[in-house]
Amino acid sequence: MTVRFKLLSVALATALLGAQVQAQGLRLAPAAGGAVAASRSATSDYIVAVVNSEPLTNTEVQREVLRVQQQFAAQRRPAPDLQRLNAEMLERLIDQKVLLQFARETGIRAEESAIDQAEQSIAAQNQLTVAELQRRVVADGLTVGMFRSQLRDQILMQRLRERDLEPRVRVTDADIEAYLQAQQNTSDPNQLEINLAQVLIAVPEGASAEQVQALQVQANQVLARARAGEDFATLVRTYSAASAQSNGGQLGLRSTSRYPASFVEATQRLAQGEVAELVRSLAGFHILKVVEKVNAGLPAMAVTQSRARHILLRPSAQLSETQAKARLLDFKKQVQAGQADFAALAREHSQDGSAAQGGDLGWASPGMFVPEFEAVMNQLAPGEVSEPLLSRFGLHLIQLQERRQAKLSEAEQRESVRALLREKKRDEAAQTWTQELRGRAYVELRDAPL
């Protein structure tokens, strides 16, 4: 069965563009895409391009084509046209070879220890041992040597990015101010998300003019009471049609394109908490209150924070990885059986600075922990204990205590904008930088990939 490795694609150079490690449904198999390619590569491979003095083969291109096709299939989206996909993968692989050659020529190296650590991290993210990961790699059509070579290339790309690309990316306070000002002044309705609450005074189908008039009078009375500050949820329960009473009448935060045009028009100039003029539809009369109004281009006002505790064991000459994992599994069984307290076990056994606090890591916002730790923590329900997981620090057992929504300070919101602008500038700088290096390279195109 194909394992969905949480692994950056070297061919797409996502590490170069600063992407985070994420699950990509990546199957590392050397199969060629399409019946013609399968037939041709079954007999012999051939060179599709030469980058400086290094050949690029059809098999390399088809491996990437297949990977992309599998990603689209996993997402249940139609894959791009095969001819176009072949051309795109060829260009990306040429760029990759140019960058990797430049990295090696300018002294960047990837030590075996760094490759070992990358391999351990991928295994941990997929809840596997390194040996299990290697067996999956072989089952998916790669040798362990090929897999580690890909990891080496990823490390080279990352170090190249850190050395040569990151210094090109600068976000100033003036950039942040300009972005915030532009977003606050935008009149683009597609940038706006709103949450409206409504009281619906339903008008029955076939109602007489007198009935409609009476219902309109009632709706205007409810509107006046809402504008006078009466509790809107109470008005919903008292007057709204049964079909519109759930969630206090709130329709949910969504883009304006997902609301009726009449609702958007009635509320677009209102501030949060204000009540619109009466809106008439085929369903009846609507009293609309703006619960929330968010500019999608602005940073989030709140984040989901997690409070967790952990027990950390560091493998050593005295404690192997297998022994550490078995010990943590035993701790988990004791906690689940009510035979031991997680905090007490952490104080006694954890090899981390948090041991004195019972392993308590405090409230943490997204991005504060290493990805392999955070990915497992985010899947836990409050009170749940994880399976042992391996990170770059050792083996962890995690217990999630609670979650909360925390409002971001103004400084934290500005940092969110800084990160957003940095990512945008990084992408732009990467494209320009890659084009510069490509322009200095010798690239000879041979037979087209099939």
CATH number at 356 reads 3.10.50.40
317 and 278 both lie in a single domain = no
Question: Mind listing the pLDDT tens digit for each residue in 263-291?
Answer: 989 998 888 889 999 999 999 999 999 98
2 and 127 both lie in a single domain = yes
Tokens of 49: 């391009």
pLDDT of 21 > 50? The answer is no
Residue type, 277: E
Per-residue confidence at 24, pLDDT binned at 50, 70, 90?
very low
pLDDT of 350 > 80? The answer is yes
Which secondary structure element, helix H or strand E, spans residue 196, and what is its range? strand 192-202
Q: Confirm whether 174 is domain-assigned.
A: no
Region 11-24 average pLDDT: 30
Residue type, 85: L
Q: 5 vs 215, which has greater pLDDT?
A: 215
pLDDT at res. 98? 95
pLDDT of 247 > 90? The answer is no
Grouping H, G, I as helix, E, B as strand and the rest as coil, residue 57 is: strand
Buried b (16+ CB within 10 A) or exposed e, 420-440: bbbeeebeebbeebbeeebee
pLDDT at res. 296? 65
Domain end point (choices 390, 407, 424): 407
Region 50-56 average pLDDT: 94
Region 97-122 average pLDDT: 90
375 and 440 both lie in a single domain = no
Tokens of 144: 């362990």
pLDDT at res. 6? 36
Q: Confirm whether 179 is domain-assigned.
A: no
Question: Mind listing the pLDDT tens digit for each residue in 319-342?
Answer: 888 899 999 999 999 999 999 999
Domain count, the chain: 3
Q: Using alpha carbons only, give the angle 216, 220, 226 rounded to the nearest 5 degrees.
A: 140
pLDDT at res. 35? 38
Sign of CA dihedral 361, 365, 371, 373: positive
Region 47-55 average pLDDT: 94
Q: Confirm whether 175 is domain-assigned.
A: no
pLDDT at res. 311? 97
In 3D space, the residue among 369, 367, 360 whose CA is nearest the CA of residue 389 turns out to be: 369
Region 90-107 average pLDDT: 94
Q: Confirm whether 288 is domain-assigned.
A: yes
Backbone angles phi, psi at 49, to 5 degrees: -160, 155
Quote the percentage of the chain above a pLDDT of 70: 86
138 and 66 both lie in a single domain = yes
Buried b (16+ CB within 10 A) or exposed e, 32-55: bbbeebeebbeeeeeebbbbeeee
Contact status, residue 315 vs residue 351, Cβ threshold 8 Å:
no
Spell out where 235-276 has E strands: 254-255
Question: Mind listing the pLDDT tens digit for each residue in 170-197?
Answer: 999 999 888 877 776 655 666 678 889 9
Q: 23 vs 215, which has greater pLDDT?
A: 215
pLDDT at res. 272? 83
Range of the structural domain that residue 240 is part of: 186-295
196 and 130 both lie in a single domain = no
Region 238-249 average pLDDT: 84
CB proximity list for 308: less than 8 A, separation 6 or greater: 361, 364, 377, 380, 398, 399, 400, 401
Q: Is 264 exposed, middle or buried (0-12, 13-18, 19+ CB in 10 A)?
A: middle
347 and 389 both lie in a single domain = yes
Q: Confirm whether 402 is domain-assigned.
A: yes
133 and 154 both lie in a single domain = yes
Sign of CA dihedral 257, 262, 268, 274: negative
Instruction: Report the mean per-residue pLDDT for the chain.
Output: 83
Domain end point (choices 266, 295, 324): 295
Domain end point (choices 229, 260, 295): 295
Per-residue confidence at 367, pLDDT binned at 50, 70, 90?
confident
Per-residue confidence at 90, pLDDT binned at 50, 70, 90?
very high
194 and 160 both lie in a single domain = no
Count helices and strands in the chain by DSSP H and E runs:
14, 11
Tokens of 187: 């009149």
Q: Which of 2-16, 295-309, 427-441 has the highest mean pLDDT?
A: 427-441
Per-residue confidence at 399, pLDDT binned at 50, 70, 90?
very high
Region 363-367 average pLDDT: 84
- Confidence (pTM): 0.52
Cα 49 vs. chain centroid, distance in angstroms? 34
197 and 306 both lie in a single domain = no
Per-residue confidence at 203, pLDDT binned at 50, 70, 90?
very high
pLDDT at res. 152? 93
